[in-house]
Amino acid sequence: MLILGGTAEASALARLLAGETWVAPVLSFAGRTVAPVLPPIPSRIGGFGGAEGLASYLRAEPVDVLVDATHPFAARISANAAQAAALAGVPRLVLQRPPWIAAPGDDWHPVPTVEAAAAALGEAPRRVFLTIGRQDLLPFQAAAQHAYLIRSVDPPDASLLPPDATILTGRGPFGEAAERALMERHGTQVLVTKNSGGADGKLAAARALGLPVIMVARRPPPGGETVAEAEAALTWLRAHADARAARGA
C-alpha cells in the first residue's frame, strides 16, 4: 500500500496500520516540509515525477492500493494520483478531512483563489493574519499596503513576502484561547485562510473577536471514493484486502 501523506489524517492512518501483518504500507511525503514528523511505518520523501512517474512506481513495487491522504489544497498531487492509479490499474481511496462550515456569528467572505483573497482585502491598510501556507504568498505583494502576520510550519522564502510581514513558525493544531491572544496582541483586523478543515481554533477566535474571515474555497478531489477519517479508511482497506484474498489475488 502506498499512502500519499503529509497530513494529520495520513499520520493517523499510519498509526493504525503500524504492526499490522496483512498489509505492507509505505507513507510518502512530498518533501515540502523541512522536517516532517515521520510515521511508525516505512516512509519515503520526494516526488515521483508526475503522474507517469507515480504510475511507474505503482507498477514496479508493485502497489495493490493507493491512498491519497494529501492536503485538501494539493490539487496537482491529487490529480496526478488519480491519473496514475488509472494508468496502473490500482484502486485508489481519497482520505480527506471535510471542509469547515460557517457557524452562527461567523463573518466569512468566500473567494475562489489566493489571488482573489489578496484583492478582497481592499485598498485601505489593514492588519492581516495570513494562514495559507508558505507557497502561496506571492499574490499578497500586490496588496503591499497591508501589514501581515504570516504563520507557516517552515519559514517562507523571503522573495515571496509582501514588504510589511512578520513571520511566525509553528505546527498546529492551535487552540482558540492561544489564537485569540495572538490576534489581540498583533491587532489583527482580518483573517485570511484556506478552507482546509480540521482543527479550527483560529476560526473560533475570529468569531469571538468579531473579525471578518476571507476564506479560500477548496476544490473537490478528482473522482473516486472518499472517506473523512483514518478509521473509515482502515475499514475500506480491510474490505479491499479481504476481497483480494477471496479472489486469490
When pLDDT is averaged across residues 56-76 and rounded to a whole number, the result is 94
- Domain assignment of residue 103, yes or no: no
- Domain assignment of residue 70, yes or no: yes
pLDDT at 223 over 90: no
Give the domain extent around 117: 108-216
Residues 210 and 126 in one domain: yes
- Domain assignment of residue 64, yes or no: yes
Q: CA distances (Å), 141 to each of 135, 160, 246, in order?
A: 13, 8, 57
Residues 234 and 207 in one domain: no
31: left (phi over 0), alpha (psi -120 to 50) or beta: left
Q: What pTM was estimated for this model as a whole?
A: 0.85
Residues 114 and 212 in one domain: yes
Residues 173 and 225 in one domain: no
88, 190 contact by CB (below 8 A): no
Residues 201 and 223 in one domain: no
CATH number at residue 73: 3.40.50
pLDDT at 248 over 80: no
Q: What is the model's pLDDT at position 224?
A: 81
Residues 165 and 91 in one domain: no
CATH number at residue 135: 3.40.50.150
Q: What is the model's pLDDT at position 151?
A: 96
For the stretch 150-161, pLDDT in tens is 999 889 999 999
- Domain assignment of residue 16, yes or no: yes
Share of the chain above pLDDT 90, in %: 79
Of 146, 152, 150, whose CA–CA distance to 189 is shortest? 146
- Domain assignment of residue 200, yes or no: yes
Residues 8 and 87 in one domain: yes
Residues 53 and 132 in one domain: no
DSSP letter (8 states) at residue 40: S
Q: Cell triple for residue 93?
A: 481511496
When pLDDT is averaged across residues 68-74 and rounded to a whole number, the result is 92
Residues 91 and 29 in one domain: yes
For the stretch 166-219, pLDDT in tens is 999 988 889 999 999 999 999 999 999 999 998 889 999 999 999 999 999 998
pLDDT at 17 over 70: yes
Residues 197 and 140 in one domain: yes
Q: What is the number of structural domains in the chain? A: 2
- Domain assignment of residue 18, yes or no: yes
137, 150 contact by CB (below 8 A): yes
Residues 123 and 86 in one domain: no
Residues 73 and 122 in one domain: no
- Domain assignment of residue 68, yes or no: yes
For the stretch 104-128, pLDDT in tens is 999 999 999 999 999 999 999 999 9
- Domain assignment of residue 23, yes or no: yes
